[in-house]
Amino acid sequence: DTGVSQDPRHKITKRGQNVTFRCDPISEHNRLYWYRQTLGQGPEFLTYFQNEAQLEKSRLLSDRFSAERPKGSFSTLEIQRTEQGDSAMYLCASSQPGLVAQETQYFGPGTRLLVL
């Protein structure tokens, strides 16, 4: 399978614990995005990387959230001191930049987080 992969697919944790999610983009895609989706809503942008550089972070990404892409390939998203409001699906997407109308983001299956 050459699509975007995410691990784990599901995570249940207790409030206050730290969690880390991993995303492996489509190979040779140099842009990688993280989104968060809550029930009944569309995905919301969190942050994105071009190669290893983190170029933008949403105001949704509080100090408890950190994302890295150290070698410009896979990325991790860590949430420290989780809160119940962090429960959501965390989606990763990757793209290969091209002409405006041609850049398509391909999404991974997501990591569904439940904070008890």
Partner 1 sequence: RKEVEQDPGPFNVPEGATVAFNCTYSNSASQSFFWYRQDCRKEPKLLMSVYSSGNEDGRFTAQLNRASQYISLLIRDSKLSDSATYLCVVNPAGGTSYGKLTFGQGTILTVHP
- Where does this chain bind partner 1 (CB under 8 A)? 31, 33, 35, 40-45, 48, 55-56, 91, 93, 95, 97, 100-101, 103-110, 112
Min separation Cβ 82 and partner 1, Å: 21
Which residues are CB-contacts of 85 (< 8 A; sequence separation ≥ 6)? 115
Instruction: Using the minimum distance from each CB to partner 1, give the nearer residue, 14 or 59.
Output: 59
Instruction: Using the minimum distance from each CB to partner 1, give the nearer residue, 24 or 44.
Output: 44
Min separation Cβ 8 and partner 1, Å: 15
Instruction: Using the minimum distance from each CB to partner 1, give the nearer residue, 54 or 80.
Output: 54
Which residues are CB-contacts of 36 (< 8 A; sequence separation ≥ 6)? 43, 44, 46, 60, 88, 89, 90, 91
Min separation Cβ 15 and partner 1, Å: 24
Min separation Cβ 70 and partner 1, Å: 20
**C-alpha count within 13 angstroms, C-beta hemisphere, residue 104:** 5
What tokens appear for 111 in the block? 């990591």
Parallel, antiparallel or unpaired: strands 111-115 and 10-13:
parallel
Instruction: Using the minimum distance from each CB to partner 1, give the nearer residue, 82 or 95.
Output: 95
